[in-house]
Structure 1
Amino acid sequence: MKNLSLFGLLLVCVSFGSCNKNQKAADAQTLNEKPIEVKCYKAIYEKDTINLKINTLKNNKVSGDMVMKFADMPVKDGKIAGEMRGDTLFADYTFALGANTFKNPIAILKRGEELILGNGQIETYLGASYFAKGKPIDFDKVKFKFTAVDCIEKK
């Protein structure tokens, strides 16, 4: 019986490892895929600025870059990866500060030609952050509304 329990535990661990490898491979493929369309946006609120580059890929997938420059805070320069669901982009924003890497969920609503960065309750479970189920994401009382700008290549 003890051997059966150990075998079951081993099987569960291997299954989780396989899923994680498959997700990492899918993420890598999304980042390397050639975009169908590339658009750039900028949002300014008081002394804070967010620059956003969105690469539209096949199957409603999206990748891109986001740079957050907030007054009196370190610059957050990272990548986004996610998908469009209707008129809303749900993505993860991954960035590094010092030796630490952070991955936060973002939701961006497309309303006409404007993009709106939503505010929602974020929960963390086993180190993963996500929007709380059953809690709405607010797109009305927000700080950051993006307008289209010309894309400028990083040097």
Structure 2
Amino acid sequence: MKSTHVLILLGLLAACKSQPKEKETEAPANAPKAEPIACYQYATAADTITLKLVNMGGTVGGALIYKLKEKDMNAGTIKGTLRGDILLADYTFKSEGTQSTRQVAFKKTGNAFIEGYGETTNVNGVEQFKNADSIVYSSSMKLEEIPCK
């Protein structure tokens, strides 16, 4: 009888043993939280450029997609800074199965962004603007603010 009590006691102890906690998936308290900024798009019957931005606590990140007629579609992520009305970011994307990184620049005008172009140079495999102050923002492809999906 005593061995039966011991077995019952061991069974109860095993059943009461707490399960280990699962790893918490929350970001650490000091990690920057991604806060939405806005979404922008240029769209015609043939061409679409979509820019989705989030504020990541000091930096700006998001997604950028180009679908231009007679050009290969490319989609990727951006990470950079928004200083005043200028967004300067590295765009990492895949096109034709190859991953590339190039710098992009957009100027905020009202509720829209206009992409900037300028002379570039290759620095460690990344196309970068030679002089950010000489970027020209005169593109006819104005990315208007749209509701984020």
TM norm structure 2? 0.71
Query: Following superposition of structure 1 onto structure 2, how do residues 1-150 of structure 1 map, counting pairs within 5 Å?
Result: 33-44=32-43, 47-59=46-58, 61-133=59-131, 136-139=134-137, 141-150=138-147
Distance verdict in 2 for CA 1:105–1:134, change over 3 Å? closer
Partner Cα distance (1:68, 1:99) in 2: 15
Partner Cα distance (1:135, 1:111) in 2: 17
**5+ residue gaps in structure 2?**
1-30
SS at match of 1:119: coil
- Tell me the percent identity: 29
Measure how far apart 1:89 and its partner are. Answer: 0.6
Partner Cα distance (1:56, 1:50) in 2: 20
Report if aligned partners of 2:48, 2:67 keep a CA contact under 8 Å in 1.
yes
Paired letter, 1:55:
V
Partner Cα distance (1:118, 1:125) in 2: 19
**5+ residue gaps in structure 1?**
1-31
Distance verdict in 2 for CA 1:86–1:142, change over 3 Å? same
The structure with the largest helix share of the pair is 1
Quick check: which has more Rg, 1 or 2? 2
Q: Alignment length, in residue pairs?
A: 119
Deviations 1:10-52 (A, max 9, x none): xxxxxxxxxxxxxxxxxxxxxx953222311101367221011
Partner Cα distance (2:132, 2:61) in 1: 26
Paired letter, 2:85:
D
Paired letter, 1:62:
V
